[in-house]
Amino acid sequence: MTDEFKSGQRSGTSKAPTPRPGLPTTGADKIRLLIADDHVTVTAGLAAIVGMQPDMVVVGEAANGRAAVELWRKHRPDVTLLDLRMPVLDGVGAIEEIHKEAGSARVIVLTTYDTDNDIYRAIKAGARGYILKDARREELLEAIRRVSRGETCIPPSLVNKLAAGIRGETLTGRELDVLALLARGKSNREIGAHLYISESTVKAHLRSIFSKLDVLSRTEAIAAAGRRGLVQP
């Protein structure tokens, strides 16, 4: 998130915001939020910004996916803000566990990652919103309010990425294994030895990968896979 999300201050001398027309102001009516991010400065900044809103309140803060699931069970928040890359249990795993218990749970992914694979996995797991950490504060707050009302909130630019990813052919598990080793600089012989398959089979997988990613070379395949989030840096 931009610096304002990382350095939000909770000053005891700041003037309380004036409630806007149409926004609930009683504690019972406020949007109850759970924030999960493994960077404490991000969590603190978000909590400070949310705390300034007359219609929102933070009920829990977690530093990993497992803690997020446990706090969700305890507080049953209206909206959960969740990072994708967290220790112990990642964001997608946390969303899946939460949705096993409550399919109506409202989760917004707040992350720096915008590859079509990241977006697809989060939405498939049940996220209602997907916001990048460089979004403006107003965009985030509007997303929270919309998702709390049961709406879906994904910026058009990310919708286009998601659509492009879905239109592309899906790689098989074995092709993903080959692609991961290719990205590590392994030769066909090394890939075959690692996966216990012949070099000719490796070449067949590579032809299929090139076709599905619409590329002509190993370098292009690695670059395309990185853009789609199919291999991790």
Q: What is the CATH number of the domain that holds 8?
A: 3.40.50.2300
Please give the chain's pLDDT, 233 residues, in tens.
Answer: 555 555 444 333 333 344 444 444 445 689 999 999 999 999 999 999 999 999 999 999 999 999 999 999 999 999 999 999 899 999 999 999 999 999 899 999 998 876 767 777 888 888 999 998 888 999 999 999 999 999 988 877 676 656 555 555 678 889 989 999 999 899 999 999 999 999 999 999 999 999 888 888 898 888 888 777 777 66
Quote the distance between the C-alpha of residue 139 and its chain's center: 16
* 43/108 same-domain check: yes
N- to C-terminal Cα separation, the chain: 20
* 99/202 same-domain check: no
* 44/158 same-domain check: yes
- Confirm if 113 and 68 have CB atoms less than 8 A apart: no
* 210/148 same-domain check: no
The C-alpha angle with vertex 143 and arms to 142 and 149, in degrees rounded to 5, equals 95
Whether 77 maps to a domain, the answer reads yes
Whether 233 maps to a domain, the answer reads no
* 122/214 same-domain check: no
pLDDT, position 38: 94
Q: End of a domain among 165, 184, 199?
A: 165
pLDDT, position 226: 78
pLDDT, position 215: 85
Lookup result for tokens 């853009």: 227
State residue 159 phi and psi, 5-degree precision.
-60, -40
Q: What's the structural domain count of the chain?
A: 2
Half-sphere exposure of 17 (CA within 13 A, CB side): 15
pLDDT, position 31: 96
pLDDT, position 10: 39
pLDDT, position 160: 62
* 101/142 same-domain check: yes
pLDDT, position 170: 77
- The three-class DSSP label of residue 83 is coil
pLDDT, position 224: 82
Domain range holding 59? 3-165
Q: What is the largest distance, in Å, between two alpha-carbon atoms of the chain?
A: 71
* 219/156 same-domain check: no
pLDDT, position 227: 73
